[in-house]
């Protein structure tokens, strides 16, 4: 089976611009998670979708971040406007109940805000 894919792999933007990251989970996985690792810190949870519904968005840093999962398939994470401290690696993961809820991670998107 195909794994979790993320696009783009790298993005370099200027402060104040908008960036949209995309995640395609493993087919059939209802649970989709976004995580972020900023320089020198541990990977931290951002939010969790179950199908198209937001189950937990307690990790979203502020209202400049907007995540969607229309139709319960792929998800997008938009940062608008981007700030310098948003730089980091954004990971997406998916899981399914019949796999013991093990989360499978994508390769990440490295975001650099100049």
Residue 50 engages other proteins in binding (rule: CB under 8 A): yes
In the list 61, 72, 81, 107, the residue contacting other proteins (rule: CB under 8 A) is 107
Helix or strand or coil: residue 44? Answer: strand
Closer of 82 and 94 to other proteins (Cβ): 94
Instruction: Report the distance separating Cα 87 and Cα 93, nearest Å.
Output: 19
Nearest of 42, 47, 38 to residue 93 by alpha carbon: 47
Contact between 69 and other proteins per CB under 8 A:
no
Stretches 16-24, 27-35, 65-73, 74-82: which one binds other proteins (CB under 8 A)? 27-35
Would you report the helix, strand and coil content of the chain in percent, each value rounded to 5?
Answer: 10, 50, 45
| By the rule CB under 8 A, 112 interacts with other proteins | no
Residue number, 63 or 98, with CB nearest to other proteins:
98
The C-alpha atoms of residue 98 and residue 36 are separated, in whole angstroms, by 26
The yes or no reply on residue 42 touching other proteins (CB under 8 A) is yes
Do the beta carbons of residue 111 and residue 59 sit within 8 Å? Answer: no
Applying CB under 8 A, which residues contact other proteins? Answer: 31, 33, 35, 41-45, 48, 50, 55-56, 59, 91, 93, 97, 100-108, 110
């Amino acid at each position: 089976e195909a794994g979790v894919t993320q696009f783009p792999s790298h993005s370099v933007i200027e402060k104040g611009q908008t960036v949209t990251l995309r995640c395609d989970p493993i087919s059939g996985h209802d649970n989709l998670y976004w995580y972020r690792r900023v320089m020198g810190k541990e990977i931290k949870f951002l939010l969790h979708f179950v199908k198209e519904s937001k189950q937990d968005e307690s990790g979203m840093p502020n209202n400049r971040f907007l995540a969607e999962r229309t139709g319960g398939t792929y998800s997008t994470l938009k940062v608008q406007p981007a700030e310098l401290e948003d730089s980091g690696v954004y990971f997406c993961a998916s899981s399914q109940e019949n796999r013991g809820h093990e989360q499978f991670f994508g390769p990440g998107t490295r975001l650099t805000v100049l």
